[in-house]
Amino acid sequence: MKYFLNKTLGYALSKILQKNKSFYNLHKNESCYLFGNGKSLQFYDLKLFNDKPSIGCNALFSHKDIHNLDLKYYYMGHPLFFYAFWKNPYSQSYEKNKVGIFYRDKIKNNSHIKYFMPLNNYLGIRGDNIHYVHHFNKAVNLSSTDYKMDEVFTMMSGSLAGMIGIALYMGFSNITLVGFDYTLYPSINGYFYDSQPVIPKPHPIYFRKILDFAKTKAFIQTITPNKHFVGHNLHSLTYKELTHTNPEFKENFDILSKKDMNNMNLMNMNYKIFKM
């Protein structure tokens, strides 16, 4: 009986993941942007990044200017994220999942984008533009490099890892990171949606093994706000070198709607949305 159940479950999972085969090498030898949620986005004009397809993640679609990007794909790596109740990682208590509601509404309002997320969200959200990845209990850590989206996908230890895995599977050979401030030296603390000041801070290289692996598959570079920052173990370009435009800092209330700011402030996620 156990053998039959495992075989049936494995067959069902494989059928779901087979949907991803249509993305294999779909963008072979093309270039793309990967967008993080770092504070450096407050310096950038997003309409200057619409010359290549983009992959976004997390709360990027709360940015007012998101429509200016050629945003085709989106990675949402949170497990069990689209259910009515969840264990809040900050309060460590089970509560109504306000974050999942917020993301679900954003997905509904951006239905032209194709979304990728862990398979354990399958019963929480489904749709023609919703796709899943699964690790099949293989190692998921800062050095996991399995990126077969139709089979074993272990690059799920963070948004950057997941997005790189997706980009490699799709065949992108030139990848530019935007808003991944932990790939800079010194790094910048915070997110584009918070009200905290820009604070440069040295730190160890995150995702080093994954980045080193990815560099054997594609050319990867990261964008810096100005010449005072460089890529940490990565080739880098300043925003001005890439766009021929000077960076201009915007406050979070300039690039988020008041509605989104209020909703994010009520999520109990320790966001610093409003200045105290």
Average pLDDT for the chain? 93
Residue-level pLDDT at 4: 40
Q: Would the pLDDT of 205 be above 80?
A: no
How far is it, in rounded angstroms, from Cα 235 to Cα 42?
22
Phi and psi at residue 83, in whole multiples of 5°? -110, 160
Burial (Cβ within 10 Å: 0-12, 13-18, ≥19) of residue 50: middle
Residue-level pLDDT at 276: 66
Domains identified in the chain and CATH numbers: 2-265 (3.90.1480)
How far is it, in rounded angstroms, from Cα 74 to Cα 33?
12
What are the tokens at 48?
């200057």
Residue-level pLDDT at 207: 87
Strand pairing class (187-188; 200-201) = antiparallel
How far is it, in rounded angstroms, from Cα 162 to Cα 57?
9
Residue-level pLDDT at 10: 56
Higher pLDDT, 255 or 202: 255
Higher pLDDT, 7 or 48: 48
Write the pLDDT tens digit of every residue in 21-41.
999 999 999 999 999 999 999
Q: Would the pLDDT of 142 be above 90?
A: no
pLDDT band at 199 (very low <50, low <70, confident <90, very high): confident
Q: Dmax over Cα atoms in the chain, in whole Å?
A: 65
Give the residue-averaged pLDDT of 199-216. Answer: 87
Return the axis-axis angle of helices 258-265 and 98-109, rounded to nearest 10°. 150
Give the residue-averaged pLDDT of 241-259. Answer: 97
Residue-level pLDDT at 2: 39
| Exposure b/e, 175-194, CB count within 10 A at least 16 = b | bbbbbbbbbbbebbbbbbbb
How far is it, in rounded angstroms, from Cα 91 to Cα 2?
38
CA distances to 77, 93, 103, 108 from 111, in Å = 18, 32, 12, 5
Give the residue-averaged pLDDT of 240-258. Answer: 97
Give the residue-averaged pLDDT of 174-188. Answer: 95
Query: pLDDT > 90: what percent of the chain?
Result: 82
Residue-level pLDDT at 11: 63
How far is it, in rounded angstroms, from Cα 66 to Cα 72?
11
pLDDT band at 202 (very low <50, low <70, confident <90, very high): confident
Burial (Cβ within 10 Å: 0-12, 13-18, ≥19) of residue 148: middle
At 123, the amino acid letter reads: L
pLDDT band at 191 (very low <50, low <70, confident <90, very high): very high
